[in-house]
Amino acid sequence: MAIIIQRLSKAKENLGISRSTFYAQISQGFITKPIHIGIRAVGWPSHEIEAIINARIAGKTDIEIKALVVNLHFQRTGKLEC
């Protein structure tokens, strides 16, 4: 399976939120932190964005979504911090 990286515009479009809300949700732990794909470019693995969307659709609580984000970050980096 190929990993697809979504740039900010696509990720926020898929989540249906504005840029400021997107970054606020990162700082609040509702969205994973970006990965660097270049000197001045960042993105998010599409499977992480999809997992967050699916959790919202399933009616997961904020605590459950934050736990999901921590788990996604751990899968990506092997670190428990997010």
User: Residue 1: is its pLDDT beyond 70?
Assistant: no
**Contact partners, residue 79, CB within 8 Å, separation at least 6:** 73
- Give this prediction's pTM: 0.89
Q: Is 68 part of any domain?
A: yes
Closest by Cα among 39, 41, 52 to 12: 52
> What is the pLDDT at residue 68?
97
Domain count, the chain: 1
What are the pLDDT digits (tens) for 19-59? 999 999 999 999 999 999 999 999 999 999 999 999 999 99
Task: Read off φ and ψ for residue 38, nearest 5 degrees.
Answer: -175, 180
Mean pLDDT for 69-79 is: 91
Map tokens 């900010």 to a residue: 8
In which band, very low, low, confident or very high, does the pLDDT at 3 lie, cut at 50, 70 and 90? confident
Q: Is 24 part of any domain?
A: yes
Q: What SS3 state is found at 66?
A: helix
Q: Is 61 part of any domain?
A: yes
Give strand pairing partners of 43.
35
Q: Is 38 part of any domain?
A: yes
Domain span at 61: 5-77
- The DSSP 8-state label assigned to residue 39 in this structure reads S
Q: Is 82 part of any domain?
A: no
